[in-house]
């Protein structure tokens, strides 16, 4: 993660971050109960959506004025998706991507288990904006919040607006990729595929298909109620609005979801909510396909999507995973890379052959059985898989690998020489499989 010569904090009107139920929260505002907020409570707290005063074009203009970008890895402007959809002659389809394929990420689960109607409201607003008659909520099979979502949909039965459908998808990492979602809704097989035309223009059965995650739709619900200028009071001028992050790894409360309003650094969050009073060894930013950042740099990094992307560590799914002083960065990366290789759909060469080769070499490196030539080979493999395949899975894996070799360069040197590892702690429990022996 390279240093940057600007500081976006001066553009924020609000500072800090919030937990569920805090007065300053936006997406996480409301009751602190673990139970899902009922429709009656939701409407009593926020009021009903205004379905009459704005035309579909005015709704699209409102989203454009707000500047909302997707709260996932692509960070694509939602307004652009809406405009692509309405230019198509077919009736659009709206999809809520609630798959959240990374086991350590909890923001989708938090929203859908506690604030399901906020997400459904946002999907309804988008459906009105593009003239969609149906909204698909796309969840992995066995997700614990499915019952809350199903109950929320039942509560809305008989109300005007689009029809909601719950779809259970395979519990696979790549099944949450947009093209895999389109494939699954068409054929029942969640295989990602390279697309020359965006799904928002030509998706399921040729229909324009708007796919966004739960956090994005939740923001739309609040923009529709409070307006674009209110939304822009948080965040930066380029990527306005608050953003959700999940704390993981060596923190006091793994799985804690926070809403970043502005002005906070990763160090601020770790000190106030992570139980960490000193600079950590390293932080994984952006999820399993994310970037390792050395502890000193991460501690002072501004928790803002634009800032982090410019600095080379995109926030992605919002995961902030801390590596403590007693953990080995190479061992943890070996676990993550083994999991990523296992999650491949196996349809392209870079994933079928390249990712397992990477996982095996990093395992050897972590266990002290690799040579300098193996490290060189890992660099070559990262280049060979980056940007190839039917989806971004190999590129994300290459990103994780390259940051591993950069941030843990000293550990790499020690392991290659056969010196004992200074870290003796257990793993971060970010994955359930691929554990280094």
pLDDT digits (tens, 9 = 90+) for 150-181: 999 999 988 888 999 999 988 888 889 999 99
- Range scoring the smallest mean pLDDT among 33-37, 113-117, 339-343, 364-368: 33-37
**Residue 273: pLDDT above 70?**
yes
Q: Are strands 134-140 and 282-285 parallel, antiparallel or unpaired?
A: unpaired
**Residue 310: pLDDT above 60?**
yes
Burial zone of 168 (CB within 10 Å; 0-12 exposed, 13-18 middle, 19+ buried): middle
Burial zone of 417 (CB within 10 Å; 0-12 exposed, 13-18 middle, 19+ buried): exposed
The secondary element (H helix, E strand) that includes residue 336 is helix 329-342
pLDDT band at 277 (very low <50, low <70, confident <90, very high): confident
Pairwise CA distance, residues 406 & 387, whole Å? 20
pLDDT band at 427 (very low <50, low <70, confident <90, very high): low
Tell whether pTM > 0.75.
yes
Please give the pLDDT value at position 159: 86
pLDDT band at 193 (very low <50, low <70, confident <90, very high): confident
User: Residues with Cβ < 8 Å from 67, sequence gap 6 or more?
Assistant: 77, 79, 228, 231, 232, 238, 239, 240, 241
Tokens representing 230 are: 């209110």
pLDDT band at 424 (very low <50, low <70, confident <90, very high): low
Please give the pLDDT value at position 106: 93
Tokens representing 126 are: 């988008």
CA distances from 144 to 108, 126, 255, 259, 339 (A): 11, 26, 14, 22, 22
pLDDT band at 320 (very low <50, low <70, confident <90, very high): very high
**Residue 12: pLDDT above 50?**
no
**In 190-328, where does DSSP find H-type helix?**
214-226, 228-231, 266-273, 295-299, 305-310
* Number of CB atoms found within 10 A of residue 268's CB: 19
**Residue 9: pLDDT above 90?**
no
Please give the pLDDT value at position 74: 82
**Residue 13: pLDDT above 60?**
no
Tokens representing 79 are: 């307004």
Q: What is the DSSP letter of 286?
A: S
CA distances from 280 to 4, 284, 300, 311 (A): 21, 11, 12, 19
Q: Which of 31, 30, 16 is nearest to 272 (CA)?
A: 16
Task: Report the DSSP beta bridge partners of residue 262.
Answer: 16
CA distances from 180 to 106, 168, 169, 183, 188 (A): 21, 13, 10, 5, 10
**Residue 11: pLDDT above 70?**
no
Pairwise CA distance, residues 304 & 133, whole Å? 35
Q: Rounded mean pLDDT of the chain?
A: 89
**Residue 71: pLDDT above 90?**
yes
Please give the pLDDT value at position 434: 36
């Amino acid at each position: 993660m390279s240093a940057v010569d600007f500081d976006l904090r001066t553009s924020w009107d609000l500072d800090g971050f919030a937990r569920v139920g805090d007065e300053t929260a936006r997406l996480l505002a409301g009751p602190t109960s673990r139970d899902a907020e009922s429709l009656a409570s939701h409407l009593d707290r926020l009021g009903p959506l205004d379905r009459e005063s704005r035309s579909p074009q005015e709704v699209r203009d409102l989203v454009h004025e707000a500047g909302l970008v997707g709260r996932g890895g692509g960070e694509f402007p939602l307004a652009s998706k809406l405009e692509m959809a309405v230019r198509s002659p077919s009736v659009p389809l709206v999809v809520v991507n609630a798959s959240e394929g990374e086991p350590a990420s909890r923001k989708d689960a938090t929203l859908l288990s506690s604030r399901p109607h906020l997400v459904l409201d946002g999907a309804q607003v988008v459906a009105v904006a593009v003239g969609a008659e149906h909204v698909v909520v796309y969840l992995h099979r066995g997700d614990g919040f499915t019952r809350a979502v199903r109950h929320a949909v039942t509560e809305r039965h008989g109300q005007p607006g689009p029809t909601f459908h719950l779809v259970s998808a395979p519990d696979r990492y790549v099944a949450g990729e947009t093209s895999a979602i389109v494939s699954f809704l068409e054929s029942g097989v969640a295989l990602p595929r390279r697309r020359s035309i965006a799904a928002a223009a030509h998706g399921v059965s040729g229909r324009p298909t708007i796919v966004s995650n739960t956090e994005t739709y939740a923001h739309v619900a609040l923009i529709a109620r409070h307006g674009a200028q209110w939304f822009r009071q948080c965040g930066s001028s380029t990527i306005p609005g608050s953003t959700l992050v999940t704390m993981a790894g060596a923190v006091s409360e793994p799985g804690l979801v926070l809403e970043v309003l502005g002005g906070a650094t990763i160090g601020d969050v770790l000190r106030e909510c992570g139980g960490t009073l000193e600079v950590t060894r390293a932080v994984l930013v952006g999820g399993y396909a994310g970037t390792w950042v050395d502890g000193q740099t991460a501690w002072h990094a501004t928790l803002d999507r634009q800032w982090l992307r410019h600095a080379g560590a995109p926030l992605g799914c919002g995961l902030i995973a801390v590596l403590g002083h007693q953990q080995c960065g190479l061992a943890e990366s070996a676990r993550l890379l083994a999991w990523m290789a296992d999650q491949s759909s196996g349809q392209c060469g870079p994933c079928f052959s390249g990712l397992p080769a990477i996982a095996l070499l990093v395992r050897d490196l972590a266990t002290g059985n690799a040579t300098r030539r193996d490290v060189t080979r890992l660099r070559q493999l990262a280049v060979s898989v980056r940007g190839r395949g039917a989806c971004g899975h190999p590129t994300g894996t290459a990103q994780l690998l390259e940051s591993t070799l950069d941030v843990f360069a000293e550990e790499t040197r020690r392991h290659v020489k056969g010196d004992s590892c200074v870290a003796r702690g257990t793993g971060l429990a970010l994955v359930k499989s691929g554990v280094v022996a």
